[in-house]
Amino acid sequence: MVIIFVLSVLFYFLVLLQTTLLVYFPFWGILPNFAFIFVLLVSIFEKKKSSLGLFLAIITGFFLDIFSDSYFIGFYVILLAAMVIFVELILKKYTRVAFFK
Amino acid sequence: MNSVLKLKKSQLKFNPKLILFVVLVLIIFNIPLVSRQTRNFFYSFSTPIQKSFWGVGRSTSSFFQALVNFKKLKSENDELKLKVKELLLRNTAIIELKRENEILRSALGIGLEKEFGLIMVEVTGKIIGQDAVFINKGLKDGVSENLSVITQEKVLVGRVKEVYDNFSKVILISDKQEIFNIEISRDEEGFTDNIAGVANGVGNFELSLKLIPKEKEVKENDIVITSALGEVFPKGLLVGSIQQVQGVDIEPFWQIKVRPAFNIQDLEKVFLILKR
């Protein structure tokens, strides 16, 4: 639970950075969504039976919904959760990569 | 032991009941009143942090831009000095014309148009996934929807889209949802007839112009200003300058890209126009 809390706070600040500091540093005119990228990385590198990625997807998705003009609160939650589930069920199950244990 | 969340050492076990719980929570958060209050709470809580990050971003960005553009700085500085002299001369002529205009108006009994009432606000952050920004004033400060937003130099930035108690969302003119009437003007002798058209945001801080017939002569660096038609924005606000003009043979209109006059990275304090 401590891990979830700490990561939630970190991702909250990441979303705030996404709306402020990172706006000044686009990559060739494009601003990537770093919250998405980091949730994806956590879900890829977490242990196989862990659900940390999914919890982070829900929490980060909620913050993204608050600080964006999404259609409804829950849009990014569903999107991120679907991405994490895809990684968990498909990528890790059917691909052979050394760091998936 | 039917807890929603089961913990086992350092691992977290996922319980299907969690899905139901999350869905219920999301449904509650989407009730309009709860949604507004939740957003308002988070914006209130986050504003000091956002303001700090926004300020840090500006100064860091300026520092790196100075390093990168070091070589160009001197020539750009010389060009700007010449431009300033030219504008000062022109300004003197405009002041004289304004004075004559006022005298004539009072002689003919025409009332002067009232100046805009303005509210100064601060930009606190950008909305993710959209050309829109947060500002630090809302319902309690007299902000309402569709108020025009301009910079100190009367450059058009956008309009207020959503208003919360203490915050508002401003949609920029470059957003895909924005479409408004404009005029193209040129500071050239003999150019007397402004060209009417429509500006459309395309996202990523870019604008395009539509419905400009090919019979009209349009050049790069022509000035684009708001027109009185449509009544979306007040007339005469600077939108930007023409960046590129392209013509496709089969189409009767030019394809024009506009460079907006505002720069999101320079937005700090802006003004809301309260009345026309």
Pairing of strands B206-210, B195-203: antiparallel
Q: Judge whether A90 and A100 are in contact, CB under 8 Å.
A: no
Residues in chain B within 8 Å Cβ distance of A20: 50, 53-54, 57, 124-126
Backbone angles phi, psi at A93, to 5 degrees: -80, -40
Residue A81 pairs with which residues in a beta bridge? none
Domain B118-276 fold: Thrombin, subunit H (2.40.10)
Look at residue B147 and tell me whether its pLDDT is greater than 90.
yes
Q: What is the pLDDT of residue B189?
A: 60
pLDDT tens digit string along B172-222?
999 999 999 999 987 666 666 778 899 999 988 999 998 998 888 888 888
H helices present in chain A, as ranges: 2-19, 34-45, 52-66, 75-86, 92-94
Tell me, what's the ipTM?
Answer: 0.81
The answer to whether the CB atoms of A69 and B265 lie below 8 A apart is no
Domain ranges (residues) in chain B: 2-72, 118-276
Q: Which of A33, A52, A67 sits opposite B12 (nearest CB)?
A: A52
Taking the CA of residue A79 and the nearest CA in chain B, the distance in Å comes to 14
pLDDT tens digit string along A87-96?
888 776 776 6
What angle in degrees, to the nearest 10, is found between the helix axes of A34-45 and A52-66?
170
The answer to whether the CB atoms of A30 and B129 lie below 8 A apart is no
pLDDT tens digit string along A67-81?
988 888 889 999 999
Tokens linked to B181:
């009437």
Residue B62 pairs with which residues in a beta bridge? none
Q: Which of B7, B39, B60 sits opposite A66 (nearest CB)?
A: B39
| Stretch B22-43: mean pLDDT | 87
Q: Which of A25, A47, A68 sits opposite B127 (nearest CB)?
A: A68
Taking the CA of residue A26 and the nearest CA in chain B, the distance in Å comes to 11
Angstrom distances, CA of residue A85 to CA of A64, B32, B87, B237: 18, 29, 60, 49
Listed range (A12-16, B116-120, B191-195, B245-249) with the worst mean pLDDT: B191-195
Residue B12: left if φ>0, alpha if ψ -120 to 50, beta else—which one?
beta
The answer to whether the CB atoms of A30 and B26 lie below 8 A apart is no
- By C-alpha distance, which of A76, A38, A71, A51 is closest to A1? A51
- By C-alpha distance, which of A36, A54, A37, A40 is closest to B11? A54
Chain B residues 246-265 with a CB less than 8 Å from chain A: 264-265
B3: pLDDT confidence band, cut at 50, 70 and 90?
Answer: very low
Residues in chain A within 8 Å Cβ distance of B134: 19
